[in-house]
Amino acid sequence: MTDRIYRNLFPVYFKGVDLAIAPFISSSKKMKPTNNLLREFYPDRNTGIPSIPQIMSSTPVDFAKLANALYDIGYGTVNWNLGCPFPMVVKKGRGAGLLCCPDSVEYFLEKAMPALKPKLSIKLRIGLKYPDEVLQLIPIFNRYPIAELIIHPRTALQMYEGEVDLDMFEQCLNLSKHRVVYNGDIDSFEKYKMFSLRFGSIKRWMIGRGLIGNPFLAEKIKFDTEKPYDE
């Protein structure tokens, strides 16, 4: 959710948000603890909404190095971004560019997971071009101790256009052994109610652009559900 200044100020004026996923940072062999990107995550600079750092990477060694550096400054969980749909990211085989490559995803997890100090969550879309690509990934995720899957039921090709594929999300929910978080098109209380009625087992909801447009939305949802986030 935006930058640390926004995350620090948000709970001063608004309520209802238990946790934020910070904008992604890219892993690099040159990443050091003194890097400006890491400084943005120092606890004394992040006093607002508790946050999980998000990492964009296709290289397990670099990912683990950055994740462990974040752990060392106080973050118990990091998020691997498999959802970014922007062409410049996809062309580099990062973000949603990995969704059509189950072998690459499995290789990444096989190499990165044993080296990780923090817990791992994953944010993903249901595919790069085709909505059923995710069905090859869920069995892979099930083999690893992942904290949660945050699923946006659109393909990268859709960007933010068209309808979310709720049928495919339901398939993912039924297949996954991990906690699943719903993300996508929660831009009103009515939409949230519609999604929550269909997916009664979902207890975690990620709101992005909808909260920017209506910062009171999370508070309204929270008063309705009264289920705080617990890691």
Q: What is the pLDDT of residues 119-158, one digit of tens each?
A: 999 999 999 999 999 999 999 999 999 999 999 999 999 9
Instruction: Identify whether 231 is part of a domain.
Output: no
Tell me the Ramachandran region of residue 93: left when phi exceeds 0, alpha when psi lies from -120 to 50, beta otherwise. Answer: left
pLDDT at 26: 87
Domain that holds residue 26: 4-225
Distance in angstroms (rounded) separating the CA atoms of residues 62 and 69: 11
Instruction: Identify whether 174 is part of a domain.
Output: yes
Sign of CA dihedral 36, 42, 44, 48: positive
Q: Which DSSP symbol is given to 206? A: E
Instruction: Identify whether 72 is part of a domain.
Output: yes
Task: Answer yes or no: is pLDDT of 36 > 80.
Answer: no
E strand map for 184-225: 205-206
Contact 78, 121 (CB under 8 A): yes
Counting DSSP H helices and E strands in the chain, the numbers are 10, 7
pLDDT at 38: 81
pLDDT at 138: 99
Distance in angstroms (rounded) separating the CA atoms of residues 69 and 56: 15
**Region 177-205: what's the mean pLDDT?**
97
CATH code: domain of residue 67: 3.20.20.70
**Region 211-215: what's the mean pLDDT?**
93
Cite the DSSP H helix spans in the chain.
Answer: 4-13, 36-39, 60-72, 87-90, 102-112, 138-141, 166-175, 189-198, 209-213, 217-225
Q: Indicate the pLDDT class of residue 33, thresholds 50, 70 and 90.
A: low
Instruction: Identify whether 158 is part of a domain.
Output: yes
Distance in angstroms (rounded) separating the CA atoms of residues 126 and 157: 11
CA distances from 69 to 63, 65, 78, 111, 172 (A): 10, 6, 11, 17, 32
Instruction: Identify whether 230 is part of a domain.
Output: no
- State whether residue 34 is helix, strand or coil: coil
Instruction: Identify whether 55 is part of a domain.
Output: yes
Distance in angstroms (rounded) separating the CA atoms of residues 58 and 94: 6
**Region 55-72: what's the mean pLDDT?**
96
> How many domains, the chain?
1
Distance in angstroms (rounded) separating the CA atoms of residues 120 and 67: 9
Distance in angstroms (rounded) separating the CA atoms of residues 10 and 211: 11
- State whether residue 193 is helix, strand or coil: helix
Task: Answer yes or no: is pLDDT of 31 > 70.
Answer: no
CA distances from 51 to 16, 42, 46, 159, 166 (A): 14, 11, 8, 25, 27
| pTM for this predicted structure | 0.92
Per-residue pLDDT of 37-46, as tens digits, reads 788 899 889 8
Q: Beta 20-26 vs 148-155: how paired, if at all?
A: unpaired
